[in-house]
Amino acid sequence: MNLDMNKLEPLLGTVVNELGAASNAALVIIGDKLGLFRALSAGAMRPAELAEKTGTRERYVREWLSAQAASGFVSYDAGHGTFSMSPEQAAVFADEESPVYVTGGFSLLSGIYADEPKLTEAFKTGKGLGWGDHSTCVFCGVERFYKPGYKAHLVVEWLPSLDGVVDKLKRGAKVADVGCGHGASTVLMAQAFPNSEFVGIDFHEASISHARQHADGLDNIRFEVARAQDYEGSGYDLVTMFDALHDMGDPAGAVAHIRKTLKPDGSLMLVEPAAGDSLAENLNPVGRVYYAGSTHICVPTALNQEIGLALGAQAGAKCIGNVVRDGGFSRFRKAAATSFNMILEARP
């Protein structure tokens, strides 16, 4: 075997980095659960001080801190023997109110690894893996990963990017949030627009139960268990779908039903993972995260449903637009975008 060392050495360097990242991901989850990041964000500490503040053991904490420093997730002062977090590190790992808080994404990994035997079997059979058949860590992880972005952008950027929608919501509109999961997006909208009525819809009963328990006492919101293709109700001014359409086995059927339930001047807002229209455009760090997540969750979920058309998490605006038009909409555009999402508007 003749190997080109100029190619091999960079590849091995990448692999070593990946092994470290994969191994440290479990430690990020532990640090999140034990409040290590949150406590450390208050100021520089030695391992014993952080252990005392969090009710943990110093020897474990010392090794954990060393791993985080090697990963660049915390900072180390060799002169004082202390560890700390910069404002940027705290925003990413410690502050759940931060728009760039991504620690929730790590909590997805517990469920993903727990489900590996099921996914391996699905590769061989071609069958799907139902949303409800995943580890419960997946549902909470999805909410924690997406919610910071929704809180940062939904009310102040995404809804205002739609044609005339905010004025309707202020006056009083009827809104369906289809594929709402734990209802984070539904609650944010209901809080912002008390004159409007919101219904969160999802086919997963356990998620709807969770949403009902966390509706914050709002009287303009309710949650229902139903499929996107045949939920009840009509006369909606706005229907929203947050990171859900690409997970559906019959996305065109879902869109067609939404079209029937909208008012003639209603709007459909689709929040989908940021993606270009070709594989080449998506070979980047964000695309990498989404292709992996799509393999673990999105495609298996879609293949488990009726038609089993698996768009995947990197379908792109062109593909989504074709689905929307097949579902009966005549107008479609990209209204806004972030590093992780594209906001698409469809009108009858």
User: What's the order of all strands across the beta sheet hosting 221-225?
Assistant: 221-225, 197-202, 174-178, 236-242, 262-273, 341-347, 331-337
- Please give the average per-residue pLDDT across 101-128, as a whole number: 93
Question: Tell me: domain 104-347, CATH 3.40.605.10, correct?
Answer: no
- Please give the average per-residue pLDDT across 68-97, as a whole number: 97
Extract the tokens encoding 78: 């060799």
pLDDT higher than threshold 80 for residue 136: no
pLDDT higher than threshold 90 for residue 307: no
- Please give the average per-residue pLDDT across 230-257, as a whole number: 97
Do 5-95 and 104-347 come out as alike in CATH topology?
A: no
H-helix segments, 130-228: 136-153, 165-171, 184-192, 205-213
Pick the CATH number of 5-95 from 1.10.10.10, 3.40.50.300, 3.30.1180.10, 3.30.43.10: 1.10.10.10
Extract the tokens encoding 118: 């099921």
- Please give the average per-residue pLDDT across 317-328, as a whole number: 96
- In this structure, are strands 174-178 and 197-202 parallel, antiparallel, or unpaired? parallel
Mean pLDDT, the chain, whole residue set: 96
Give me the residue spans of the domains in the chain: 5-95, 104-347
pLDDT at residue 233, as a whole number: 95
pLDDT at residue 280, as a whole number: 97
Confidence of residue 239 (pLDDT cuts 50, 70, 90): very high
pLDDT at residue 216, as a whole number: 84
- Please give the average per-residue pLDDT across 132-160, as a whole number: 92
